[in-house]
A and B are shown apart, each in its own frame.
Chain A
Amino acid sequence: MDQSSPNSSLERLLKSLIDHEEEFRELDAAAGDGDLGITVRAAAAAVLEWLPQDGTVASTKDLLAGMAQVCASTSPSTFGSLVSRGLAAAAQALGDEPRDDLSSLVVALEAGIAMVQRRGRAESGEKTFLDALIPALHAARSATSVPEALPLMRVAAVAGTEQMASAVPKHGRAAWVGERASGIPDAGSVVVIRALEALEGPTTQPWDVGMASKR
């Protein structure tokens, strides 16, 4: 989203996700089966490898479509599959129409979220990563530029995730844990937060997960 070097902010995001593997694993192990760290690390590493290293920059649409394919084949877990389908939908929605960066961001997020809702059969408020993504989208809509949007999106994603931390999840393996997952933030939402922090820049103060209870 950084106009001067789109690939470098994406690379920063991917590296941050790889660095947070252990955090995702722990959160997911508390609620699901603990494979989210591996899934996210594997997908991020595969996308990093796939990114052109010669400085060439693909269109955002091609970048998203390519990332969708890499995610689908490397990390076809629930989370990986949903992210992949979301990225593909975002790419399709962007098409080749020229837009400013903020409109591109909003259009891509809208399409991606709609696809995740459809394929995951989930709505906001059910303790999934939609609770971070949907508030982030609302925040982006209220901004006038991408640099202004990013911190607003991060704050909104954190608020959405914190609000749902005490809830009982309804989807995925976390749903089976039921009330035991209460107090633990949704692992997928934390992935969204870490991604937004990385996009915003290295000076961002990382959110403290502060898990209420660890299994």
Chain B
Amino acid sequence: MRKIMNNPKNFVDDFLDGLLKAYPKDFRAVPGFPRALTRVEPSGAGPKVAIVTGGGSGHLPLFLGYVGQGLCSGVAVGNTFSSPSAEAILAATKASESGRGVLFLYGNYSGDGINFDDAADMASDSGIETETVRAADDVASAPPSASGSRRGVAGLTLAYKCAGAAAEASYTLSDTAKVAARSLANTRTMGVGLSPTIIPEAGHPTFQLLEGEMELGIGIHGEPGIRREEMGDANHIADLLLDGIRVELGLSASSRVAVLLNSLGATPEEELYIVYGRVADRLAAMGVTVYRTFVGRYATSLEMAGCSISVMTLDDELTSLLDAHSYSPLLRLF
């Protein structure tokens, strides 16, 4: 294992400590709850729907990188690949809300669901209204007939952007939740893994791949995907991933889309652009209009090599929300 760290058991607390020191004007920990972070709101900010997210660590910039202007207001941070506690979620909720309710927006994982649901009950007891939207954009994790059980991956970030813009534009809680749900209903993601990831606290790769083999449909925790097959070139990978998502999205010559090409951690941007070149050609050949493109690290799995492609079909409202300004020190071009 080649990792730069101190005590592996303190991996999460140590990176949080450094991150808070790096961006004191952007993030702060809720007093007494080191695993609950909120945005430092500018003085004079009016009340708005607060979006609270959270999940396991190991995915930066997901989840806490999406706390920022026009994005989420608070986040609960779990151990590596493990849900945050309900008490951390509740702390982030109480510290973020400004009277207009709280949207819980996170990935569809059983542990996160249990803890966010408990936090929602406790928030309700404190008089805070919440709504919940879970991302389930990974087509490789379940067939269309069981799409509700799919896991949430990189497509979640596009929902943050649209729902965050809606909250900023003074949408109500119910309307902000509808934007988040529609963003996700319009988004599909599929990924490919080329090398495993190592949980710092465990020190072992989560799976093994043979040289020249790739895992098609891999999850952001190294969950196995649809199948393993011989490593192909970038065009082949682009085709496999795009073909995995385009039918369900119903892409046609009248479609307008945003494309998010995401590195799972180790894969460099150069390789992402090679894949994107093919994706752009394929979409152009189908007559699809690519309105926005995001290429980079948006939802990673520590040092895993590989990438994922997310495509979101846009209507007029989602287009304008996607265009709204957003800022977090962990993101660029978002």
Contacts and interface: CB of A to CB of B under 8 A. Distances in A.
SS class, residues of chain A in contact with chain B: helix
A125 interface: no
Interface stretch (A5-13, A69-77, A140-148, A200-208): A69-77
A61 interface: no
Contacts of A37: 202
- Residue of A76, A82, A120, A175 with most chain B CB atoms under a 10 A cut-off: A76
Contacts of B85: 72-73, 76
A212 B243 CA distance: 34
Interface stretch (A27-35, A52-60, A94-102, A105-113): A27-35
Given A72-B86, A75-B82, A171 B223 contact: no
Contacts of A72: 85-87
Given A35-B82, A75-B82, A173-B221, A25 B202 contact: yes
Nearest to A32: B223
B84 A177 contact: no
A81 B111 contact: yes
Interface residues of B, number: 32
Interface in B60-88: 78-87
Given A29-B206, A34-B204, A172-B110, A76 B82 contact: yes
B249 to A, nearest CB: 21
Contacts of B109: 78, 173
Contact of A34 (B111, B206, B219): B206
Nearest to A76: B85
Given A38-B199, A78-B109, A29 B207 contact: yes
A81 B223 contact: no
Given A25-B204, A119-B114, A175-B149, A38 B79 contact: yes
Contacts of B81: 33, 35
B39 to A, nearest CB: 23
Contacts of A180: 224
Given A29-B204, A73-B87, A176-B219, A35 B114 contact: no
Given A76-B78, A78-B111, A35 B83 contact: no
B115 interface: yes
Nearest to A85: B114
Given A176-B141, A180-B224, A39 B207 contact: no
10 contacts: A25-B202, A29-B207, A33-B219, A38-B82, A73-B87, A75-B82, A76-B82, A171-B110, A180-B224, A215-B207
